[in-house]
Amino acid sequence: MVSTPPLGIPPVSTSLAATPITASAITTLPVTTSAIAAFASGGGNVGNGGSTPPAEPPVPPPEAPPEPPKDPFAAYVWAKENEVTSFGHVRKISLPGLPAGAQSLKGEWVHVTGQTRLRGNFLRQPYIDKTSRFTSDPFDQVQCYYALMSLILYLNMQGFDMKKTLGKILPLYARVNEVRDVNAWFDPRTGWLTFGTGDASRFGAWHLAEDADIVRHECGHAIFHSLYPELTSWYAGDGGAIHEGFGDAMASLYANNSVISEDFLPNTGEHYGTDRGLRDVNNDLRYNQVDREVHSLGRVYGGFWWGVRKLLEPILGDGREAADLTIAFSMSHGTNYATNRPGPKDFFDAALAGARVYLEGSKHDLDYKRAAKAMTDAAKRRGFLNKEVARRGRRERFSEEFGRLLTETPEPFAFVRESSVENSTGSRDFLQQYLVLENRHFVKMLGSGLIVFKDGSGGTRSFSASDMRRDVNVDPTIWYGRPKALSTVKQAAKDKLDESNRMLEELEEQDRHGLWAGDETERKKKITRAEALRRLDEIALEEATVHDEYRTASLVLMPEGYDNGHSEKADLYWSFRFGLTDFYVNARTGAVATKKIAMW
């Protein structure tokens, strides 16, 4: 289903085509042969019999109306989300959010940089000439900026204070055509978005920033990370998949089009159309039918949100309104998780809580019970509520019990507020749990802590102690100090890149010899994903190689349930982060664990 996106920004013009001039549009006057002859012989005015009238002072021509001022922010963007859905057509709009005299795409909300200086000229065509195989860098920058700004302003119009939501990462930085990968990602360390060109891909170049679906998906990661920072962690349960589903929901619900990135297929040499793309959230996938890879499982979570939209459409009588309300529910749910390691039931609980809080605080007249029924039906269709699916998080009313948790724990624990996230419907504080060793070392307990929920006025509503660890048996042995741990990480980064190269070579070998069994699109996705993983390993090795400051490492305790081979006690680990990869070195054995943190 495709319909016009809720741009929220009036276009300067809806068409680039000039109005054709036809013969009927030109006014003509009847002129006789004799009149032409008299005028040619110097007889004066045509039609006055050849006589010359007395001279009169010349009458000045009427003053022409002043030309309207040119819009310094006029720009061309795709008519819809990307080239395929726009059938190659562009439209002229006025870029919002730029300061007077802007020479680049650096506004209050968004900063976009590319490989070309725009010098105040934003009216750029998609292609340099008819022979170009991929879009131009100036157009890519403009398209990326507009895709980001239109989504942010749209969410503002839906009642969400995006300055408050994105506060810590504003302005949102986007680097266009920065790398040669067929990939785009959000970096939770810096809050930056990065978009590739595809030059390094065996499938050919494709500038990902030209596709608004890709841009808004990545912006979805930035928004959701701002709402729920802990969910980007590798130990956050289904957090990665929920993130991917949220990104797809942002792109699809904004455009009111379930297909994500129709431009993906033609740029990988496949048959394409407006009904096919990289992913489609209008699917019937169930939780137990897909593997745990985040993009694969993310199709189920993204499909849930699209399913809610479909169930709300007959209730509201309008698909656009249903998409608007669903995107509001998805935004509101981000601060309502009762655990940092959510599964499908925890996700569903947060979605219900988000819908209730949003409807209570908005002017929308939909009854919460009808919204809850639609969400329950959508969750059942995804298998989220099956008996074998566990619920981890549980809320409790705020009471004296919360104070006892902080003061009457059996171990020497400390709690430090690590994040405090506000949106228009309330806030969520996370108090990170630390273990205090006898030598006064503070050890961060990954994934452990307390969650506090507050209402819109700042009053505490409830809390969750579901992620708090009470009994911890730790082996404090440290045979590997910081310097030795750093040296171990550098070797591990090299080994990890070697492993990624081998895996990619094996996939390419299978492809060359026709040994691949399965769907053509999935084959290309798997190879593209392997290329992206190799690039992340290259970045990690580059940073680790030049890093000599071992004091940046800190001690951590791995998440509850993590198997480190120690039968009785939990070991301590040194934590390093290089690029978008976390490295953990066992302080007792020297064993290394690596985890990716990129949000694609």
Alpha-carbon distance 128 to 134, whole Å?
Answer: 9
Tens digits of residue pLDDT in 170-196: 999 999 999 888 889 999 989 999 999
Do residues 458 and 536 share a domain? no
Beta strands 110-113 and 172-179: pairing type?
parallel
Domain count, the chain: 3
> Looking at the domain assignment, is residue 34 inside a domain?
no
Structural contact between residues 433 and 445, judged by C-beta atoms closer than 8 angstroms: yes
Examine residue 400 and state whether it is found in any structural domain, yes or no. yes
Better pLDDT: 121 or 14: 121
User: Where among 382, 416, 441 does a domain terminate?
Assistant: 382
- 406 and 375, same structural domain? no
At 532, is the pLDDT very low, low, confident or very high (cuts 50, 70, 90)? confident
Q: Both 434 and 577 in a single domain?
A: no
pLDDT of residue 4: 46
Indicate the average pLDDT of the chain.
85
Average pLDDT over residues 271-277: 90
Give the tens place of pLDDT for each residue, 372-412: 999 999 999 999 999 888 899 999 988 777 777 777 766 68
Closest to 304 measured CA to CA, from 222, 249, 238, 345: 249
In terms of Cα–Cα distance, which of 421, 351, 346 is closest to 389?
346
588/541 same-domain check: yes
445 shares its domain with 514: no
Of 134, 92, 78, 124, nearest in space to 274 by CA: 78
Residue 109 and residue 134 share a domain: yes
Q: Are both 96 and 220 inside the same structural domain?
A: yes
Gap between the terminal Cα atoms of the chain: 25
pLDDT, mean of residues 245-249: 98
Q: Can you tell me the mean pLDDT for 96-111?
A: 97
Give me the residues paired with residue 77 across strands.
91
3-state secondary structure of 439: coil
For residue 7, pLDDT over 90 is answered with no
- Which range (197-201, 338-342, 590-594) has the least confidence? 197-201
Domain of 428, in residue numbers? 396-472
Same-domain check for residues 464 and 570: no
Q: Is residue 390 part of a domain?
A: no
Closest CA to 357 of 328, 399, 318, 400: 328
Percent of the chain with pLDDT over 90: 58
Distances (CA, A) of 312 to 62, 157, 282, 327, 377: 60, 20, 14, 12, 11
DSSP 13: B
Q: Is residue 13 part of a domain?
A: no
- Look up residue 2 and give its two tokens: 């495709």
Nearest to 179 by CA among 531, 584, 570, 569: 531
Domain boundary among 335, 356, 382: 382
Specify burial of residue 569 (Cβ count, 10 A radius: 0-12, 13-18, 19+). middle
Q: State whether 86 and 120 are in the same domain.
A: yes
Beta strand 110-113 with 105-106 is antiparallel
Position 293 in a domain: yes
If asked whether residues 353 and 404 sit together in one domain, one would say no
Q: Is residue 24 part of a domain?
A: no
- Specify whether 365 is located in the same domain as 400: no
Q: Which of 513, 536, 435, 512 is nearest to 476 (CA)?
A: 435
Residue 434 lies in a domain: yes
Q: Which of 331, 358, 382 is the last residue of a domain?
A: 382
> Residues 401, 453: one domain?
yes
Among left, alpha and beta (phi > 0; psi -120 to 50; other), residue 8 is left
Q: Is the pLDDT of residue 166 over 60?
A: yes
Q: Look up residue 520 and give its two tokens.
A: 């053509």
Higher per-residue confidence, 461 vs 550: 461
For residue 222, is it within any domain? yes
What are the Cα distances from residue 35, in Å, to 43, 45, 49? 9, 9, 9
